[in-house]
A and B are shown apart, each in its own frame.
Chain A
Amino acid sequence: MKRRTILAGAVAALALTTTAFAEDKTKVGFVYVGPVGDGGWTTEHNNGRLAVEEHFGDKVETIFQEKVPEGADAERVLTQMALSGADLIFTTSFGYMDPTLNVAKKFPDVKFAHATGFKRSDNVATYSARFYEGRAVIGHIAGNMTKTNKVGYIASFPIPEVIRGINSAYIHAKKVNPDVEFNVVWIFTWEDAAKEADAAQALIDQGVDVLMQHTDTTAPMLRAEASGVHAFGQASDMKVAGPTAQLTSIIDDWAPYYIAQTQAVMDGTWQSTDTWDGIKEGMVDFAEFSDAIPQDVRDEANKMIEDIKSGAYKPFTGPLKKQDGSDWLAEGETADDGTLAGMNFYVEGLTGDIPN
C-alpha cells in the first residue's frame, strides 16, 4: 500500500515536471503557402519566425510547414500542428481563413492568428499590413520613372487587398504623370514562378518599362533584370534577383507582431484582435532606393513616407472618382477603413475590368 502511494506520488511528480517542462517552452507554429525560399511573401514570414526564435531563445520552439495548399489540406496540417502541442499558430495566407476557424473551434486552448482575413473568433485573431501605403510611394516613383508611360502590374486574385494596391499605385502614378497607363494581368495564384514570369514577359512585350507585382516570388524581378526594365520588389528585398532592375521593394516586417503575440501567449494576456498596421508601426517598410531614381523623386517619396507616418497624408484622399465616373471621395475626404477593407472597384482612369 505504502509503496504504491510512493509510486503514485513519483508518477504524479514526474507528470508534473513533464507538463511544467512542456509549459516552459511556448510552441509557435507557422503555416506558409509558398516555400520559405520564395524570396518574397513567405520568406518574410519566415524571417518573422526566426526573429521570434532569436528574441525568446530557449523559451520558444517554432515549427513550420511550407507549401500548404489553401483548402482541405490546410485544415489537416493545422489540426496536426495543434495536436503536436502548439500554443499559437500563425496562418499566413488569405485562403486559410475557413480552415483556421474550423480548427480553432476544435482546439479552444490554442491561439490562432490569420493573416489578411476578416473572420475572427475567441481564439482567432487577424492581422494584415497597410500595403497600400507602400503602393502609394512606389506608384509615385513609377509615374516618374516610366518612359513609355506604361506600368505593368502582376495581380494575383481580385480581392480587396489586391484591388486596393492597384488603385493606390495608380492614383499616385497618375498624379505625377497624367499620361500613365496601367496594364494589369491577373494570374489567379499567389505563388507560381512560371506563371509570374510569363505574365512579366507578356507585359514587357507590350512595352511596359516599370513592373509591379502582387505575387510572392522573385520571378518577375528576374524577368525585369533580363529585359533591362525596372521593377518593384514585393514583400521582401528582391535586390538579389534584380540588382539593377529593382527601384525599391515594399518590405513586410512581421517580426514585431509575431514577437508581441508570442509574448502575450506567454503572459496569458492574449486576446483576439484585429491588427492593421502600416508604415507608422513599421509593418510596411522599404528596401534601399536605387540610384536610378533621380534625387528629387527620392526626396518626394521620402516626404510622402514621412507624411504617411505622421498621419498628415492618407493615400486615399479625395477628390476621387470610381472607374464608372461616379463620385467616391469629395475634395479632402479620406476613405474609412471599412470602405478600404471591402474595396471592389477601380478608381477613375484605370482601364480593363476586375474579373468576376
Chain B
Amino acid sequence: MITLEKRPEPSKLWTAITPILAVVATMIAGGIMFAVLGKDPLVAIRTIFWDPLFNEQFAGFSRPQLLVKAAPLILIATGLAMGFRAGVWNIGAEGQYIMGAICGAAVGLAFYPTESFLIFPLMIAAGALGGFLWAMIPGVLKVKFHTNEILVSLLLVYVAEFILASMALGALRNPEGNGFPGSRNLKEYPSAFNAELLPNTGLHWGVVAAIIAVIFAYVLFSKHMMGFHIRLAGQAPKAARFGGVEPARLILFCLGTSGALAGLAGLFEVSGPAGQISIDFNVGYGFTAIIVAFLGRLNPFGILLAGLLMALTYIGGELASFMLGVPTAAIQAFQGMLLFFLLAVDVLTNYRIKFGTKGGGSI
C-alpha cells in the first residue's frame, strides 16, 4: 500500500531536484516515443538539447535565436506569475500581446516615413498601454461586477485576433502591398525597427526588457510590500483582507502589470523578429507563457530558466523535425511531456510517499 502524506513544509530538496527529474523523465519517455517512431532516440535527444547550443553548423545562429524565442515567453510569464501568486488568473495574455503589438506598430506607422529617435520609445509606451488597457477590461469587470477573469480574459483573445485580422486587412495594411494583407515591414523603417543591439547576438530591446522584468519582479516579491500582499492574498485570502490588502487594487495591479508586460512583448516582437502586423502574427506565446510560469514555479529566476528551456525545445525540435524527419506532432508531445512530468513529480515537493500502512519507510 502506497499512500501520500502531506509534508508540513514543501521540501526544499525536492523543489530543487524536481525540475531536473522532470527533464530526465521527459528524455526517457520521449526517447521511447522517438524509438517507436523509428528514430534513434539518442540522436533525437542530442539534436533537440545539444545541437542548437553546440553544433558547429547551427549553434552560431541558433544560440542567439534562443534569446529571441525566450524573451517574449519570459516577459509574459513574469507578469502572469504575479497574478497567479495572488490567485488572479489572467489566461488572456495572448490577447494583450496582440493589442500591444497593434498599438505599438500603429504609433510607429503613423509617423512613417519620419525618422526620429523619439519614435521607438513612443511605440514602447503605446505597446505597454495597449496590453494594459486590454487587461483592464477583465480587471474592471471583475472588480465592479465580479465576473470571472479567466473567462473574460480568455474570450478577449478571440476578439483581439479579429481586431488583428481587421488591422492587417484595413487600417494598417501596407498601401504599397498590392492589396495583400499585412502592414509595412518595420524592419525597413529604421526609427521603428527593434534591431539587434549587438550584431548576431539575438540581443534586442525585448531581451533587455525581459531581464529587467525578472529583476523587478524578484525585488517586488522579496522586498516590497506589494509582493507580500500578493503572496498573502494567494495563500490566505481572509488573512490578507484583515491585513489591510484591498482586493480590488490587487486585482487591477496584477492584471494591469501582466497586461502591460504582454503588450510590451507584442511590441518588441512586431517591431523586431516578426517585422509586421499580419493576420497570423500571434503564434501562442501568451499561452505557452502560462506553461513557462508554472515550469519556473512562479519564481522570476525560475521563469528565466524555464523560458530558455522552452525556447530550446522549440528550436531543437525544429532541427530534429527536418534533420531527422520527426513529425511536428511528436515534438509537441515531447514538450507536453515536460510539463506533465514536472507537475507529476511536483507531488514529491508537497507530499511524501509512504510505503505500507503504518510505520513504513518513506521518502
Contact = CB atoms under 8 A, between A and B. Distances in A.
A287 to B, nearest CB: 26
Interface string B247-269: 00000000000000000000001
Given A73-B283, A98-B276, A158-B169, A81 B61 contact: no
B328 A67 contact: yes
Interface stretch (A58-66, A210-218, A230-238, A270-278): A58-66
A276 B179 CA distance: 19
A355 B322 contact: no
A34 to B, nearest CB: 10
Contacts of B62: 80
A342 B178 contact: yes
Contact of B322 (A64, A188, A356): A64
Given A66-B327, A81-B322, A71 B274 contact: yes
Contacts of B187: 102
A83 B58 contact: yes
A98 B277 CA distance: 12
A49 to B, nearest CB: 12
A355 B328 contact: no
Interface in B319-333: 319, 321-323, 325, 327-329
Interface in B30-89: 57-58, 61-62, 65, 68-69
Interface in A46-86: 63-67, 69-73, 75-77, 79-81, 83-85
Contact of B58 (A71, A73, A80): A80
Contacts, number: 89
A355 B164 CA distance: 13
A188 B165 contact: yes
A95 B278 contact: yes
A35 interface: yes
B169 A355 contact: yes
Nearest to B62: A80
Contacts of A64: 322, 325
Contacts of B69: 76
Contact of A76 (B166, B173, B315, B321): B315
Given A73-B283, A76-B318, A63 B179 contact: no
B273 interface: yes
B302 interface: no
Contacts of B279: 157, 188
A70 B179 contact: no
A29 interface: yes
Interface residues of A, number: 37
Interface string A79-111: 111011100000000110010001000000000
Nearest to A190: B280
A80 B283 contact: no
A69 B215 CA distance: 32
Contacts of A35: 327-329
A265 to B, nearest CB: 18
B181 interface: yes
A72 B274 contact: yes
Given A80-B58, A160-B179, A29 B322 contact: yes
Contacts of B166: 355
Given A80-B62, A98-B275, A356-B170, A71 B323 contact: no
A80 B328 contact: no
Contacts of A65: 318, 321-322, 328
Given A64-B322, A65-B322, A66-B327, A84 B58 contact: yes
Contact of B181 (A66, A83, A157): A157
Contacts of A355: 165-166, 169
B57 A83 contact: yes
A70 B165 CA distance: 14
Contact of A63 (B165, B278, B322, B327): B322
B276 A77 contact: no
A188 B65 CA distance: 28
B338 to A, nearest CB: 19
A305 to B, nearest CB: 30
Interface in A150-173: 157-160
B273 A75 contact: yes
B104 to A, nearest CB: 15
A247 B40 CA distance: 44
A93 to B, nearest CB: 10
B134 interface: no
A71 B281 contact: yes
A278 B19 CA distance: 55
B83 to A, nearest CB: 27
Given A95-B280, A158-B169, 9 more contacts: A63-B325, A64-B325, A66-B327, A67-B328, A70-B278, A73-B283, A77-B322, A160-B179, A356-B169
Interface of B: 57-58, 61-62, 65, 68-69, 165-166, 169-170, 173, 178-181, 185, 187, 269, 273-276, 278-281, 283, 315, 318-319, 321-323, 325, 327-329
Interface of A: 29, 35, 63-67, 69-73, 75-77, 79-81, 83-85, 94-95, 98, 102, 118, 157-160, 188-189, 341-342, 344, 355-356
23 contacts: A35-B329, A63-B322, A63-B323, A64-B322, A65-B322, A66-B321, A66-B328, A69-B280, A70-B280, A71-B278, A72-B273, A72-B283, A76-B315, A76-B318, A80-B319, A81-B322, A83-B58, A83-B61, A118-B180, A189-B280, A341-B178, A356-B169, A356-B170
